Chain A
């Protein structure tokens, strides 16, 4: 599992509340990613990081912010959750596998916004 954990694994919250999801890795990978998984859309990139304090937007970044103050942790924050952000959120890291790069995924966080 490339040492990737996500917390919480499940969360139910109300519209308008702030929510922070945590991705933790134990192997000093430089690149980390946050995706959301929705039926009919597959996985879509929200934000990614290429080092401590280095982040960039993905395809669906509106309403989300991220922070990476340490190599091992990549936080995803919904400042004011909306029902459209109900989804399963996956964190991933990129690791060199022989001649190729490969992304490894965390177990996912199921978020429900009521």
Chain B
């Protein structure tokens, strides 16, 4: 079964500290993986996707197929990073674009 797991409901760090939001997935094949972010009172928006290997707002995420993980990292957290973060998976073979989301992790960056 296809599944995305984010084990932490809440991650609280101080400004300037490193951040790692964990994401593990279950999928037989090569999925497309994404991180979405929802800032307070804003729409859900794409932060980054694994296939483009980009860094957005200082965040990076590496796909580890052996560990079936796609953890989101940032070396120095900023207060404006406080938000809800969702890891999501899409099956490229389906062509429907359907997303399977994890439970979400709230990141709280304290001053």
Contact = CB atoms under 8 A, between A and B. Distances in A.
B partners with A: yes
B103 interface: yes
B97 A101 contact: yes
Contacts of A42: 4, 6, 86, 101-104
A105 B98 contact: no
A106 B43 CA distance: 6
A103 B97 contact: yes
Contacts of A107: 43
Interface string A93-107: 010000011111111
Interface in B80-111: 86, 88, 96-104
A90 B44 contact: yes
Given A40-B103, A102-B46, A105-B44, A45 B98 contact: yes
Q: Please tell me the size bucket of the interface on B.
A: 20 to 34
A105 B47 CA distance: 13
Interface in A19-36: 31, 33, 35
A36 to B, nearest CB: 11
A100 B50 CA distance: 11
A114 interface: no
Contacts of A104: 43, 45
Given A40-B103, A94-B97, A100-B49, 12 more contacts: A31-B97, A42-B103, A42-B104, A43-B88, A45-B99, A48-B98, A56-B96, A58-B98, A59-B100, A101-B97, A104-B43, A107-B43
Interface of B: 4, 6, 9, 43-46, 49, 51-52, 86, 88, 96-104
20 contacts: A31-B96, A31-B97, A33-B97, A40-B9, A40-B103, A41-B103, A42-B101, A42-B102, A42-B103, A43-B99, A43-B101, A45-B98, A45-B100, A50-B96, A56-B96, A58-B98, A59-B100, A90-B44, A102-B49, A104-B45
Interface of A: 1, 31, 33, 35, 40-45, 48, 50, 56, 58-59, 90, 94, 100-108
